[in-house]
Structure 1
Amino acid sequence: MIFFKRVVCVQSWEAFSIMDFKNKTVAVIGLGNIGKTIARNLVKSGHSVILSARTLEHAQLLVKELGDLSSAEEVTQSIRDADIIVLAVWLKDIKEIIATNKELFVNKVVIDPSNPIKIDGSGNPQKIIGVNESSGEEIKRWLPASSKLIKALGTLAASLLSENAFSDPRNVLFYATSAQDVRLTAESLIQDIGYLPYYVGDITESIKLEVFGSLNGHVVNLDAANKLVKDSL
């Protein structure tokens, strides 16, 4: 498995190998379109996943599709068992999950693909927090201080995330984190769902990755990603 790290600003990447991610347990909580796509792509790359949804039966249905590399657990148990937790649910549900299980998030790596929106009667997204606020920064405040939060996997709609994975050359997925010690984890995860990881900065950059942000909604290769990031500064 080949992963990438940035070596000169946003200009270039060099390859390196890392196997540690394969030994990490990943839980995907929330099995809507985004959660299912993430789980399917991880399994496609040979990574095992724990699946959790509102009901165990819902998760078990996807296990039947994905096979032996997947298992179904209740939400609390999956948080307890996983090293890396993908919270692929609405922001209000993330808040509830963290509040109910806060002690279980101590020292965990948490992936946040959320967008702080609701859909209005015309089918258009509306932001549900302040115009200058991000769900990434909100979630960081809700989590224990020892949790390692990564903003990732939510810059593309589920259909785009599925259709444009594993391209040659790889398309880019942007991510942000203030926890420098988990950047390799973030990049390994993004590689395993079929994309080239692109670090844009600490968690305060989350707003750029969310709906209405300058880096949201773009299916781009590395050159185009470099331009987008430069233009967003």
Structure 2
Amino acid sequence: MKIGIFGTGMVGRTLAERFIADGHQVMIGTRNIEKTLANTEPDLIGTPPYYQWQENNVTVQLGTFADTANFGEMIFISTFGQVALHAIDLAGIEKFDRKIVIDTTNPLDLSGGIPPSFAGAIGNSLGEQIQRHLPQAQVVKAFNTLSMHIVVNPQLEEGVPVLLLAGNDKEAKVKVEEVAKGWGWKDVIDLGDIGEAFYMEASALLWIRYAFNNASWTHAFSLLRK
């Protein structure tokens, strides 16, 4: 399968590495290819410059957002949350029609520094905004509530974490769940329609603030139930 990933940061890179290892073709999208490759500084959270990673991952293609939307049969939106809609606009909304779009973003407010605060609102989560922006796409909110290195390899010796997802299209959610189970996920919970994305984004902030406050990115949530 051809996988398109918006975002050159750690989230996009980790997804790309896993999909390549699983035998898929991958293109990562960026606003400006030349600028991305020329950058020598780490990003806001200290991720090394993209060109260093690309040298060790030569099978991953780098394209514009438009290139990546055209390329991907399944598309991941993994940019910083505040630029997600702009990246989609740069790609061209029509390029997402009839495709599964997985939204991994969170509405974080970094204006006050680290750890970030929450910029979401009930009824206007990023997941809902993206679905409204892409009415002909099947948007699934997923993979936003824990570290991406756990997302692609959820085998934790401490226990079994829970993976949450939400979206309006049941078939799209089934396909996303199939991807997750291929990575080893055993506890996947479908919360319902895309309106549930707000609560996923809010729970993600709890995970993120704990991570920054404790300098630890290896924790995950589980749900105990009968």
TM-score (norm 1): 0.72
Match of 1:88 in 2: 78
- The alpha-carbon distance between structure 1 residues 192 and 50, as it changes in their structure 2 partners (threshold 3 A), is farther
Residue 132 of structure 1 and its aligned partner are, at CA, apart by: 5.7
Q: Residue type matched to 1:188 in 2? A: E
Residue 86 of structure 1 and its aligned partner are, at CA, apart by: 0.5
1:124-143 alignment runs, 5 A limit: 124-130=115-121, 133-143=124-134
Match of 2:223 in 1: 225
Q: Is the 8 A contact 1:41 1:194 kept in 2?
A: no
- Partners of 1:190 and 1:200 lie apart in 2 by 15
Q: Is the 8 A contact 2:80 2:105 kept in 1?
A: yes
Residue 192 of structure 1 and its aligned partner are, at CA, apart by: 4.2
- Partners of 2:191 and 2:203 lie apart in 1 by 16
- The alpha-carbon distance between structure 1 residues 173 and 67, as it changes in their structure 2 partners (threshold 3 A), is farther
Q: Does 1:200 align with 2:214?
A: no
Q: Does 1:119 align with 2:114?
A: no
Residue 121 of structure 1 and its aligned partner are, at CA, apart by: 2.9
Q: Does 1:77 align with 2:67?
A: yes
Structure 2 unaligned regions, length at least 5: 38-49, 209-218
Match of 1:34 in 2: 11
Out of 18, 21, 24, which is 1:47 matched to? 24
Match of 2:211 in 1: none
1:91-170 alignment runs, 5 A limit: 91-100=81-90, 101-130=92-121, 133-143=124-134, 145-158=135-148, 161=151, 165-167=154-156
Structure 1 unaligned regions, length at least 5: 1-23
- Partners of 2:162 and 2:20 lie apart in 1 by 20
Root-mean-square deviation (CA, aligned residues, Å) is: 2.9
Q: Is the 8 A contact 1:174 1:215 kept in 2?
A: no
Residue 28 of structure 1 and its aligned partner are, at CA, apart by: 0.9
Residue 52 of structure 1 and its aligned partner are, at CA, apart by: 1.8
Q: Is the 8 A contact 1:38 1:193 kept in 2?
A: no
Residue 98 of structure 1 and its aligned partner are, at CA, apart by: 2.4
CA displacement 1:81-138 (0-9 Å, x = unmatched): 2111111012332211223311111112111011111223341322224356411111
- Partners of 1:200 and 1:140 lie apart in 2 by 16
- The alpha-carbon distance between structure 1 residues 131 and 185, as it changes in their structure 2 partners (threshold 3 A), is closer
Match of 2:41 in 1: none
Residue 178 of structure 1 and its aligned partner are, at CA, apart by: 1.0
- Structure 1 residues 179-188 or 151-160, which shifts more? 151-160
Q: Is the 8 A contact 2:145 2:204 kept in 1?
A: no
TM-score (norm 2): 0.74
Higher fraction of strand: 1
Residue 198 of structure 1 and its aligned partner are, at CA, apart by: 2.9
- The alpha-carbon distance between structure 1 residues 77 and 92, as it changes in their structure 2 partners (threshold 3 A), is same
- The alpha-carbon distance between structure 1 residues 210 and 33, as it changes in their structure 2 partners (threshold 3 A), is same
- Partners of 2:103 and 2:179 lie apart in 1 by 13
Match of 2:176 in 1: 186
Percentage of identical aligned residues: 23
Match of 1:12 in 2: none
